[in-house]
């Protein structure tokens, strides 16, 4: 198995099997002396459950996924031209497709005997929305090897189509700007103030995005820890069940052996009595013979 085959196996299997399967492959590579493969395999990251659902769609519903992602170009064009009617129509189509794809991913997960919840399907919806907004994310989703849960909260051409549609409507309804006697350059101090405000908003956005990225990383780590703990708990439960079954069998064997021992002891006592009676009879018969 090469690295691509291993990755395909890992990212198509349920997340709960990821760590054990990857670690087994790393261990086997080290045993055969393939350090390069072991290092590369060890870097493969377990997907979040929402990312795994996206990977299911990429592997089993590729045509439908490509159809959804094809909306990105039309959405971007409508946003650039501020075509409100087109944006509203495309947004409605987008919502229906995202919801339908999320439901289909849930059905695929249940076929694999993996539980799904509404919050989890909403996280998948966030991933699909992010893929529509960002071509880089779209390629990650198409790869079938997504590892992270992604949401998109940016600004500009790839922002929320509903917001862009609202901006288009507001622009169409807004009256033309009033003419003033202010020179073209405007008040330099006012321009500087607006620039400072814009810069402050940009810094606030950067700080918020950094905090969000950190929080999501912590969440991913917590989910991975929970997955490992749940797997260990399940293994421990299976071990307890096995040991309990072995204990029950041993106790039944001990009870049977004790009963057999009691029966054997009773038989030994009866045999000893019979032997004593026979010895007494023999002694009496010998005495009579000697008296003749």
Kindly provide the b/e burial profile for residues 17-41, where b requires at least 16 CB atoms within 10 angstroms of the residue's own CB.
ebbeebeebbeebeeeeeeebbeeb
- Kindly report, residue by residue over 159-217, the tens digit of the pLDDT: 344 444 444 444 444 444 444 444 444 567 888 888 878 877 777 776 665 566 566 55
CA pseudo-torsion sign 191, 195, 201, 204: negative
| Whole-angstrom distance, CA of residue 260 vs CA of residue 228 | 47
Query: Sign of the C-alpha dihedral, residues 3, 5, 11, 17?
Result: negative
Q: What is the DSSP letter of 162?
A: H
Mean pLDDT of 242-250: 82
Say what the pLDDT of residue 216 is.
Answer: 59
pTM of the model: 0.52
pLDDT per residue as tens digits for the range 152-167: 754 333 334 444 444 4
Average pLDDT over residues 6-14: 91
Condensed to tens digits (0 to 9), the pLDDT of residues 133-150 reads 889 999 999 999 999 998
More confident residue, 47 or 94: 47
**140, two tokens:** 């990650």
Q: pLDDT category, 23, cuts 50, 70, 90?
A: very high
C-beta separation of 129 from 152 below 8 A: yes
Which pLDDT belongs to residue 227?
57
Confidence band of 79 (pLDDT split at 50, 70, 90): low
């Amino acid at each position: 198995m090469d690295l691509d085959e291993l990755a395909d196996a890992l990212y198509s299997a349920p997340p709960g099997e990821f760590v054990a399967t990857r670690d087994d492959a790393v261990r086997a590579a080290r045993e055969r002396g393939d350090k390069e493969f072991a290092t590369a395999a060890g870097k493969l990251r377990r997907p979040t459950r929402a990312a795994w659902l996206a990977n299911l769609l990429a592997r089993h519903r590729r045509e439908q996924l490509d159809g959804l992602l094809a909306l990105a170009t039309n959405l971007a064009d409508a946003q650039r031209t501020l075509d409100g009617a087109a944006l509203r129509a495309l947004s409605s189509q987008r919502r229906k497709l995202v919801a339908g794809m999320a439901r289909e991913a849930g059905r695929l997960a249940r076929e694999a005997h993996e539980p799904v919840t509404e919050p989890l399907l909403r996280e998948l919806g966030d991933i699909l929305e992010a893929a529509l907004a960002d071509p880089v994310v779209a390629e990650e989703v198409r790869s079938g090897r997504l590892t992270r849960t992604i949401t998109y909260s940016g600004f500009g051409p790839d922002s929320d189509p509903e917001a862009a549609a609202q901006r288009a409507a507001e622009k169409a309804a807004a009256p033309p700007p009033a003419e003033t006697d202010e020179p073209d350059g405007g008040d330099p101090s006012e321009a500087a103030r607006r620039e400072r405000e814009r810069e402050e908003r940009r810094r606030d956005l950067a700080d918020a995005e950094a905090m969000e990225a950190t929080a999501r990383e912590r969440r991913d780590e917590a989910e991975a820890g929970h997955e490992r703990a749940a797997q260990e708990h399940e293994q421990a439960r299976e071990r307890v069940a096995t040991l309990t079954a072995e204990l029950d069998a041993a106790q039944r064997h001990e009870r049977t052996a004790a009963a057999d021992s009691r029966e054997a002891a009773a038989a030994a006592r009866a045999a000893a009595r019979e032997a004593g009676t026979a010895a007494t009879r023999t002694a009496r018969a010998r005495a009579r013979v000697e008296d003749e």
